[in-house]
Amino acid sequence: MGLTRDEILRAADCRPEAVSVPEWGGQVWVRPITAAERDRFEMRFHAAEGAGRYENLRAALVAMALSDEEGRRLLTDEDAAALGAKSAAVLDRLFDVAKHLAGIGPAEAQDLEKN
């Protein structure tokens, strides 16, 4: 038998994952972004033009995905600029986890870059 509407809407499918960040002295939680957040993230970079089109892309996704242990966002979209000043190695590691949890694979990343 298939799932009901209520079962689908109640499903806890955005569980955060702990990621060690020794450079920051501990661990952080990275949660899967929602479908609406992913759409907003993709539209932001599709709508931008010019050479700076992908500026702070990693920080933008990481800002959306960093959460507390319960999955509540820690940062706002506006915090992405400050986050972009952090270590590229740390952001790359967190970006990779956030991409994976958001279902952004190589094909989706290529589409984002092409468009």
Q: What is the CATH number of the domain that holds 77?
A: 3.30.2220.20
* 29 and 62 Cβ atoms separated by less than 8 Å: no
Q: Tell me, yes or no, whether 61 lies in a domain.
A: yes
Is 60 exceeded by the pLDDT of residue 71? yes
R_g of the chain, CA atoms, integer Å: 15
Residues 55-73 have a mean pLDDT of 94
Q: Tell me, yes or no, whether 23 lies in a domain.
A: yes
- Cα–Cα distance list, 108 to 42, 51, 64, 98 (Å): 10, 20, 18, 13
pLDDT at 55: 80
Q: Tell me, yes or no, whether 98 lies in a domain.
A: yes
Is 70 exceeded by the pLDDT of residue 8? yes
Q: Tell me, yes or no, whether 6 lies in a domain.
A: no
Is 60 exceeded by the pLDDT of residue 110? no
66 pairs with which residues across the strands? 30
Of 11, 114, 18, 9, the C-alpha closest to 65 is 18
**Confidence category of residue 109, pLDDT binned at 50, 70, 90:** low
Q: Tell me, yes or no, whether 46 lies in a domain.
A: yes
Q: Tell me, yes or no, whether 7 lies in a domain.
A: no
Q: Tell me, yes or no, whether 78 lies in a domain.
A: yes
* 63 and 79 Cβ atoms separated by less than 8 Å: yes
Which strands form 17-21's sheet, in the order they lie side by side?
17-21, 26-30, 66-67
Q: Tokens in use for 27?
A: 């661990």
Q: Tell me, yes or no, whether 10 lies in a domain.
A: no
The structural domain count of the chain equals 1
Domain that holds residue 57: 15-114
